[in-house]
Amino acid sequence: MYRVKVIKSFSAAHNLRGYEGNCENLHGHNWKVEAALCGDKLDNIGMLADFRILKKALKDIIDELDHKYLNDCLVFKTVNPTSENLACHIYHELEKTFPAMVDRVTVWENEDAAAEYFYCHSEMAKNV
């Protein structure tokens, strides 16, 4: 099995609806997003995926979030803009470019706290 990863960053503000604590107030983060693809077959030149295409796909998704108030973004009008939901959103957006290849998306809201979204494709993994 092969895995390739890219990392991009963006800055945005949000507040967490229904949260009791500091994060219910408007605040911002400099998020780091790590996106990973995986697969068991390489193309005819020995690549799982072109880093250039993966970086552009991730950049296009992040550009919609960068320097925004996330609560005002359409996707987060009814979904709380948590790091977990950001990771899920980015994962599903990447699937449009890389169907059945997206392994996981990790969203770091600071250097020591991250949320990760991944989907277990195999029946064996679902039973673990």
What residues are annotated to the active site? Answer: 23, 67, 109
Contacts of 48 (CB under 8 A, 6+ apart): 2, 3, 4, 37, 38, 39, 41, 42, 101
Element (H, E) at 3: strand 2-14
Under DSSP, the state recorded for 69 is: B
